[in-house]
């Protein structure tokens, strides 16, 4: 069919990354695009203006070196690749903060901590593309993120016992975690629903 | 004594943003040199929130809903029209900007400073191209997903041409999709007729026979499970009459699961696995997002 079979029921991890890349993030630009009011008339610098369709282009036309700005994540990665900016890691990507999340996860076995919905993807992208911009050593951060991931995976495994035919509540689960669960959870719940439906039909017939 | 002045402050805030947005829209008009002689933008100015970014966000929401929902959702006619026009304009804009580089004399000087300058001058071009590719990817993926569903439900969609349905087929599909649906099902029918069906007894020749032991018309699986995120109404919290408040002080939508006679609460900001037919109305009203 026109959509590959693999993508019919779920997103691919690359598409999840695509979705996450549209989110804003803070950067330190290393160049200036804001045109000076004085220089504007007279000599034409011929500087190209930014005109974007998917992201706000206003901050990009007003970049001042070493002044934080918020831009879309994919632009930040692109600029970073060119050595034109450094990315400011989000507040939760610090050793102390991650440790707090881990403590919370260990203390509350019934629920997930309030990590942002894109934490796994953001962490992965920053580790691989902007490792030198993080304030804490990357290998320690990687360790903490892996810890969090495993604790949450354990809880998800516990939660799968509760699959049923009516509904399920999964607050604070991140998009990537949902995406890897999706085929399994939906498949099982759909089957349970069918079984439940046929039992109900039989009972009605008996009465 | 505490005087609550939040509403007064909010009033003041609104004023400043009004001025800001008017400045921005002027700036945006200045950059759209090509193709648009100001008439298009004038026509839409009185309508709220039609920025390219806002439209892209809506497109993303439509794309994600379409990918995950079991049924074919209504085609966003106006949104797609605007987006396609923007893609065209941006294409021309990029072409024009890159023409400028040919004439740019600074690129010929090979001193390190000016080549550095040239690189920073090409950054916007690089980004604009990447940006356009991203937008085109979403559009392509969205349309391909819809085509796959049109294939799947082609017999079911033919029933939409009957009198009694709520939504006419032309609302549900775009013009090109309608054509695809017609011609594709004609080709399929021809294949089936020539290969097998004409050897059947006449009462068994129909491809959309629903009276037999197995239904031949594939309907969307209305009660399939989907993951939903409850985002609630956009701005005014108290505008939605369906919203209620529970004992924890959280706002939620009460929904009923018909088959089980069960009540469930969808609190705002929560993630649920739900049957599609339970949340369908909320999805169409944009209160809930499929993820």
Which sequence spans correspond to the domains of chain A? Answer: 14-33+50-88, 92-206
User: Can you tell me whether residue B23 is helix, strand or coil?
Assistant: helix
- Pairwise CA distance, residues B273 & A151, whole Å: 22
CA-nearest residue of chain B to A176? B291
CA-nearest residue of chain B to A7? B67
pLDDT at B204 exceeding the cut of 50:
yes
The answer to whether residue B222 neighbours chain A at the CB level (below 8 Å) is no
The pLDDT confidence band at residue A41, using thresholds 50, 70 and 90, is very low
Q: Considering only CB atoms, which chain A residues are within 8 Å of B225?
A: 185-186, 189-190, 193
Which among A123, A122, A176, A180 is positioned nearest to A147, based on CA atoms?
A: A123
CB spacing of B291 vs A178 below 8 angstroms: yes
The pLDDT confidence band at residue A163, using thresholds 50, 70 and 90, is confident
Cβ-count burial A104-128 (b if 16+ within 10 Å, e if not)? bbeeeeeebbebbbbbbbbbbbbbe
Residue by residue, what is the 3-state secondary structure of B105-135?
Answer: HHHCCCCHHHHHHHHHHHHHHHHHHHHHHHH
Q: What is the ipTM of this complex?
A: 0.89
| Higher pLDDT, residue A163 or B180 | B180
Which CATH architecture is the domain A14-33+50-88 placed in? 3-Layer(aba) Sandwich (3.40)
Does domain A92-206 fall into CATH 3.90.1150.10? no
Instruction: Quote the percentage of chain B above a pLDDT of 90.
Output: 29
pLDDT at B52 exceeding the cut of 90:
no
How far is the alpha carbon of A182 from chain B, nearest alpha carbon, in Å?
8
- Pairwise CA distance, residues B247 & B267, whole Å: 12
CATH fold, domain B221-291, is Ribosomal Protein L9; domain 1 (3.40.5)
Which CATH architecture is the domain B5-32+47-152 placed in? Up-down Bundle (1.20)
Q: State pLDDT tens for residues A181-194.
A: 999 999 999 999 88
The answer to whether residue B126 neighbours chain A at the CB level (below 8 Å) is yes
The answer to whether residue B100 neighbours chain A at the CB level (below 8 Å) is yes
CB spacing of B52 vs A52 below 8 angstroms: yes
- Pairwise CA distance, residues B199 & A21, whole Å: 56
Instruction: Select from A2, A48, A189 the Cβ nearest to the Cβ of B121.
Output: A48
CA-nearest residue of chain B to A83? B120
DSSP string, chain A: --S-GGGSSS--HHHHHHHHTTSEEEEEESS--PPPHHHHSSS---PPPP--SSS--HHHHT--TTS-EEEEHHHHHHHHHTTSEEEPPPTTSSHHHHHHHHHHHHH-SSS-----TTHHHHHHHHHHH-GGG-SS-HHHHHHHHHHHHHHHHHHHHHHGGG--SS-EE-TT--HHHHHHHHHHHHHHHHHHHHHHHHHHHHHHHH-
- Domains B5-32+47-152 and B221-291 are alike in CATH topology: no
| Higher pLDDT, residue B139 or A169 | B139
CB spacing of A46 vs B144 below 8 angstroms: no
The answer to whether residue A175 neighbours chain B at the CB level (below 8 Å) is yes
The pLDDT confidence band at residue B41, using thresholds 50, 70 and 90, is very low
CB A187 within 8 A of CB A10: no
Q: Which residues contact B242 (CB under 8 A, 6 or more apart)?
A: B253, B254, B287
CB spacing of B106 vs A46 below 8 angstroms: yes
Q: Considering only CB atoms, which chain A residues are within 8 Å of B262?
A: 166
CB B155 within 8 A of CB B208: yes
Q: What is the pTM of this model?
A: 0.83
The pLDDT confidence band at residue B12, using thresholds 50, 70 and 90, is confident
Kindly report the number of other CB atoms within 10 A of residue B252's CB atom. Answer: 20
Instruction: Select from A49, A185, A200 the Cβ nearest to the Cβ of B273.
Output: A185
Kindly report the number of other CB atoms within 10 A of residue A133's CB atom. Answer: 16
Structural domain spans, chain B: 5-32+47-152, 156-220, 221-291
pLDDT at B215 exceeding the cut of 90:
no
Instruction: Quote the percentage of chain A above a pLDDT of 70.
Output: 94
Which of A101-115, A141-155, B14-28, B112-126 is predicted least confidently? B14-28
Q: Considering only CB atoms, which chain B residues are within 8 Å of A8?
A: 148
Which of A84-93, B148-157, B252-261 is predicted least confidently? B252-261
- Write down the pLDDT at residue B24: 43
Count of A-B CB contacts under 8 Å: 133
| Higher pLDDT, residue B42 or A129 | A129
- Write down the pLDDT at residue A25: 92
Q: State pLDDT tens for residues B100-129.
A: 777 655 544 444 455 556 655 778 888 889
Q: Considering only CB atoms, which chain A residues are within 8 Å of B97?
A: 48
Is the torsion defined by CA of A94, A96, A102, A108 positive or negative?
Answer: negative
Q: Which of residues 4-63 of B touch A (CB under 8 A)?
A: 24, 31, 52-53, 56, 60
Tell me which CATH code domain B156-220 carries: 1.20.58.1030
Chain B interface, best mutation among A2, A29, A33, A54, by max B CB count within 10 A: A54
Strand A85-87: give its sheet, edge to edge: A69-72, A24-29, A85-87
Q: Which residues pair with B267 in a beta bridge?
A: B252
The pLDDT confidence band at residue B165, using thresholds 50, 70 and 90, is low
Which residue bears the tokens 């006419």? B168
- Pairwise CA distance, residues A102 & B79, whole Å: 43
Instruction: Select from B90, B134, B225 the Cβ nearest to the Cβ of A189.
Output: B225
Q: Which of residues 227-266 of B touch A (CB under 8 A)?
A: 227, 257, 259-260, 262, 264
pLDDT at B28 exceeding the cut of 50:
no
Q: State pLDDT tens for residues A133-151.
A: 888 889 999 999 999 999 9
- Write down the pLDDT at residue B19: 44
Kindly report the average pLDDT of chain B as a whole number: 78
């Amino acid at each position: 069919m026109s959509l590959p079979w693999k993508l019919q029921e779920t997103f691919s991890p690359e598409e999840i990354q695509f979705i996450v890349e549209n989110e804003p993030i803070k950067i330190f630009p290393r160049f200036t695009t804001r045109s000076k009011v004085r220089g504007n008339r007279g000599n034409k610098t011929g500087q190209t203006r930014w005109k974007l369709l998917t992201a706000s282009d206003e901050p990009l036309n007003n970049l001042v070196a070493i002044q934080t700005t918020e831009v879309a994540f994919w632009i930040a990665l692109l600029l970073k690749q060119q050595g034109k900016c450094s990315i400011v890691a989000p507040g939760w990507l610090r050793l102390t903060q991650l440790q707090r999340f881990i403590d919370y996860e260990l203390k509350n076995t019934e629920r997930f901590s309030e990590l942002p919905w894109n934490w796994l993807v953001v962490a992965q992208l920053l580790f691989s593309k902007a490792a030198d911009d993080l304030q804490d050593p990357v290998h320690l951060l990687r360790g903490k993120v892996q810890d969090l991931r495993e604790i949450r995976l354990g809880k998800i495994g516990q939660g799968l016992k509760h699959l049923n035919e009516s509904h399920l509540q999964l607050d604070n689960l991140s998009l990537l975690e949902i995406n890897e669960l999706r085929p399994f959870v939906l498949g099982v719940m759909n089957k349970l629903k069918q079984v439940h439906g046929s039992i109900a039909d039989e009972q009605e017939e008996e009465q | 004594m505490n005087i609550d002045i939040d509403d007064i402050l909010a009033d003041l805030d609104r004023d400043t943003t009004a001025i800001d947005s008017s400045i921005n829209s002027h700036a945006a008009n200045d950059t759209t040199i090509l193709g648009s002689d100001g008439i298009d933008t004038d026509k839409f100015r009185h309508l709220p929130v039609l920025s390219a970014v806002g439209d892209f966000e809506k497109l993303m929401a439509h794309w994600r809903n379409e990918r995950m929902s079991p049924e074919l959702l209504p085609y966003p006619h106006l949104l797609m029209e605007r987006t396609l026009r923007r893609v065209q304009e941006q294409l021309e804009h990029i072409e024009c900007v890159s023409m400028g580089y040919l004439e740019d004399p600074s690129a010929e000087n090979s001193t390190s400073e000016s080549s550095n300058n040239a690189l920073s001058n090409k950054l916007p071009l690089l980004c604009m191209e990447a940006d356009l590719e991203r937008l085109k990817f979403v559009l392509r993926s969205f349309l391909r997903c819809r085509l796959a569903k049109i294939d799947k439900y082609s017999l079911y969609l033919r029933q939409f041409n009957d009198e009694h349905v709520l939504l006419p087929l032309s609302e549900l599909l775009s013009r090109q999709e309608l054509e695809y649906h017609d011609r594709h099902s004609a080709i399929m029918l021809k294949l089936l007729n020539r290969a097998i069906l004409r050897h059947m007894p006449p009462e068994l020749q129909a491809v959309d026979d629903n009276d037999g032991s197995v239904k031949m018309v594939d309907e969307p699986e209305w009660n399939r499970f989907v993951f939903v995120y409850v985002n609630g109404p956009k701005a005014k919290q108290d505008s939605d009459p369906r919203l209620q408040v529970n004992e924890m002080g959280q706002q939620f939508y009460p929904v009923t699961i018909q088959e089980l006679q069960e009540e469930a609460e969808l609190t705002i900001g929560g993630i649920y696995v739900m049957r599609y037919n339970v949340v369908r109305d909320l999805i169409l009203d944009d209160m809930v997002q499929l993820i």
